């Protein structure tokens, strides 16, 4: 029994090392292994305690403390639980973190700017019932339509629709979700499920898209497919209950990278040759733990040379020297302009795969140039992919995204009403309908 306790303690020590090791080491040596070991501790600490504490008690009762090995193992295991408790506290305290970020980016009184009918749909603070079943995603009143083709390219050019079972006459605002997976793996049915199910239950329609993957294709095919999906929404979304005049885009990891590019490369003819004239602007952009500079030109990534080698061989199909313009196009930090839509970026402070320094650099430069608000949420204790499951942190994060989107939507309606010479109306259809023309820009509060 002492050896079983020692193995449990060894696992605890290794996982704590992966959580707390220096940031430079986190992304330089075996980042995928570090992520795989750390993520269950940073994102599900309460479940780890719920499993390990009874198991440890059982081993102690069965005589695991009968040797010095067992005693040392118990002390190490209990020390590791202090780190687990820290992770739990970070997760529980994340509500204040996201609210502070929203107030810093939108103004301390941003909630007052949300239209009353939209504010009424915002969820109050999460409770234990919201996250006690981490992988139970379905919500009542939501239906899913799967496998719709947006281009004639097989299953990799299809989308799923998450929508309210009852669609209001004016239609629902749209969130386009782009999955991650290092541009080489991933599927539309696997990611951002807590966010999509929540928003669909609150009157939004979420469209989750597949896109063709590397190494079979090279960039910018991934981005072009995402634009094809958006063009499909603009052309056909009204038939599914969408208000195509308000489309936001989100995604995580590689999907966060593509979401940022969707926000920054609207209506470029060379990226939408199949859909000339279709509006590919978005009204808001919400990347999660994305990659924002393929060239790591500001030394944001300690392992930049390895990352660049992976991108050259599998994603870009060219070196920066062979095609510098392509590498710039693939880097959101090089595509920033003053008419960028409102951005809300979320990133874990302990991210092993996409270093937070990259997000900080992107945010700094975006705020310097964009005329629209930029909200940046740095989540203490969070790893990469923190929103794959229900946790206190995930629930606080998706609630914050909901508040941000309703704030942007309210400002969008105000701008449309102002341009029409009419006050804000209570029915979004009366001001936005299904128009997809133009981009509304307002000054940062």
The reply to whether 67 belongs to the active site is no
76, 115: one domain: no
Residues 177-218 pLDDT 10s: 999 999 999 999 999 999 999 999 999 999 999 999 999 999
Q: Would 441 be classed as within a structural domain?
A: no
25, 79: one domain: yes
Which of 77, 92, 107 is at the close of a domain? Answer: 92
- 347, 384, 402, 412: the catalytic one is 384
Closest to 394 in 3D by CA, of 405, 386, 402: 386
pLDDT at 36 > cutoff 50: yes
Instruction: Count CA atoms closer than 13 A to 226's CA, side-chain side.
Output: 34
Label residue 306 by pLDDT band (50, 70, 90).
Answer: confident
79, 105: one domain: no
Which of 92, 120, 143 is at the close of a domain? Answer: 92
Which of 34, 58, 92 is at the close of a domain? Answer: 92
The reply to whether 384 belongs to the active site is yes
49, 192: one domain: no
Main-chain dihedrals φ then ψ at residue 262, nearest 5 degrees = -60, -40
Which own/partner contact pairs does 147-156 have at CB distance under 8 Å and 24+ positions apart? 150/209, 150/228, 150/229, 150/231, 150/232, 151/225, 151/228, 151/229, 151/232, 151/274, 153/212, 153/225, 155/210, 156/210, 156/211, 156/212, 156/213, 156/225
Contacts of 148 (CB under 8 A, 6+ apart): 158, 159, 160, 161
- 351, 358, 387, 399: the catalytic one is 351
88, 98: one domain: no
Residues 351-381 pLDDT 10s: 989 999 999 999 999 999 999 999 999 999 9
Q: Would 437 be classed as within a structural domain?
A: no
Host H or E run for residue 274: none
Residues 114-159 pLDDT 10s: 999 999 999 999 999 999 999 999 999 999 999 999 999 888 999 9
- 15, 94, 208, 253: the catalytic one is 253
Least confident residue range of 38-52, 133-147, 272-286: 38-52
Main-chain dihedrals φ then ψ at residue 265, nearest 5 degrees = -125, 35
Task: Please give the DSSP secondary-structure letter assigned to residue 333.
Answer: G
266, 299: one domain: yes
253, 198: one domain: yes
Mind giving me the DSSP string for 166-232? S--TT-EEEEEEE--STTTS--TTTSSHHHHHHHHHTT-EEEEE----TTTS-TTHHHHHHHHHHHH
61, 136: one domain: no
12, 126: one domain: no
Compute the distance between CA of residue 272 and CA of residue 281 in angstroms, rounded to an integer.
12
If you average pLDDT over every residue of the chain, what do you get? Answer: 91
The answer for 65, left when phi > 0, alpha when psi is -120 to 50, beta otherwise, is alpha
Q: Would 51 be classed as within a structural domain?
A: yes
Neighbours of 6 (CB within 10 A): 20
Q: The tokens 């929404």 sit on which residue?
A: 233
205, 100: one domain: yes
Q: Would 443 be classed as within a structural domain?
A: no
Q: Is 298 exposed, middle or buried (0-12, 13-18, 19+ CB in 10 A)?
A: middle
Which residues span the domain enclosing 69? 2-92
14, 120: one domain: no
Q: Which residues pair with 249 in a beta bridge?
A: 176, 285
Compute the distance between CA of residue 360 and CA of residue 301 in angstroms, rounded to an integer.
12
Q: Would 54 be classed as within a structural domain?
A: yes
Q: Would 280 be classed as within a structural domain?
A: yes
Predicted TM-score of the model (pTM): 0.91
216, 298: one domain: yes
Label residue 443 by pLDDT band (50, 70, 90).
Answer: very low
The reply to whether 412 belongs to the active site is no
* pLDDT over 90, % of the chain: 80
The number of folded domains in the chain is: 2
């Amino acid at each position: 029994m002492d050896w079983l306790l020692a193995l449990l303690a060894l696992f605890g020590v290794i996982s704590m090392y992966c959580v707390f090791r220096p940031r430079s080491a986190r992304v330089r040596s075996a980042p995928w292994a570090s992520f795989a070991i750390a993520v269950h501790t940073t994102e599900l600490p309460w479940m780890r305690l719920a499993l390990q504490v009874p198991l440890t008690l059982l081993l102690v009762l069965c005589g695991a403390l009968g040797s010095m090995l067992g005693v040392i193992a118990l002390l190490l295991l209990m020390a590791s639980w202090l780190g687990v408790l820290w992770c739990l506290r970070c997760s529980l305290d994340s509500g204040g973190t996201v609210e502070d970020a929203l107030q810093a980016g939108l103004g301390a009184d941003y909630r007052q700017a949300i239209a009353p009918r939209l504010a009424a749909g915002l969820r109050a603070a999460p409770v234990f019932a919201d996250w006690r079943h981490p992988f139970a995603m379905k919500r009542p009143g939501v239906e899913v339509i799967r496998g719709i083709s947006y281009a004639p390219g097989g299953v990799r050019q299809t989308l799923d629709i998450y929508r309210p079972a009852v669609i209001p006459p004016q239609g629902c605002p749209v969130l386009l979700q782009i999955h991650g997976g290092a541009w080489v793996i991933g599927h539309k049915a696997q990611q951002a499920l807590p966010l999509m199910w929540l928003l669909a239950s609150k009157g939004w329609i979420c469209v989750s898209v597949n896109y063709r993957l590397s190494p079979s294709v090279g960039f910018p095919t991934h981005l072009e497919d995402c634009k094809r999906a958006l063009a499909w929404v603009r052309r056909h979304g009204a038939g599914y209950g969408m208000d195509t005049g308000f489309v936001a885009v989100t995604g995580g990891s590689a999907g966060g990278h593509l979401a940022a590019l969707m926000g920054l490369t609207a209506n470029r003819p060379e990226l939408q040759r199949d859909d000339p004239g279709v509006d590919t602007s978005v009204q808001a952009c919400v990347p999660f733990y994305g990659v924002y500079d393929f060239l790591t030109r500001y030394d944001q990534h300690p392992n930049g040379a390895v990352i660049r080698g992976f991108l050259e061989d599998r994603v870009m199909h060219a070196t920066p020297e062979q095609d510098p313009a392509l590498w710039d196009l693939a880097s959101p930090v090089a595509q920033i302009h003053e008419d960028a839509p409102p951005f809300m970026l979320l990133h874990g402070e302990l991210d092993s795969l996409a270093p937070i320094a990259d997000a900080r650099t992107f945010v700094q430069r975006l705020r310097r140039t964009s005329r629209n608000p930029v909200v940046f949420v740095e989540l203490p204790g969070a790893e990469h992919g923190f929103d794959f499951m229900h946790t206190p942190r995930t629930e606080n994060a998706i609630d914050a995204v909901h508040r941000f989107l309703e704030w942007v939507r309210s400002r969008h309606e105000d701008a449309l009403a102002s341009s029409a010479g009419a006050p804000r109306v209570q029915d979004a259809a009366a001001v936005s309908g299904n128009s997809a023309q133009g981009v509304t820009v307002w000054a940062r509060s």
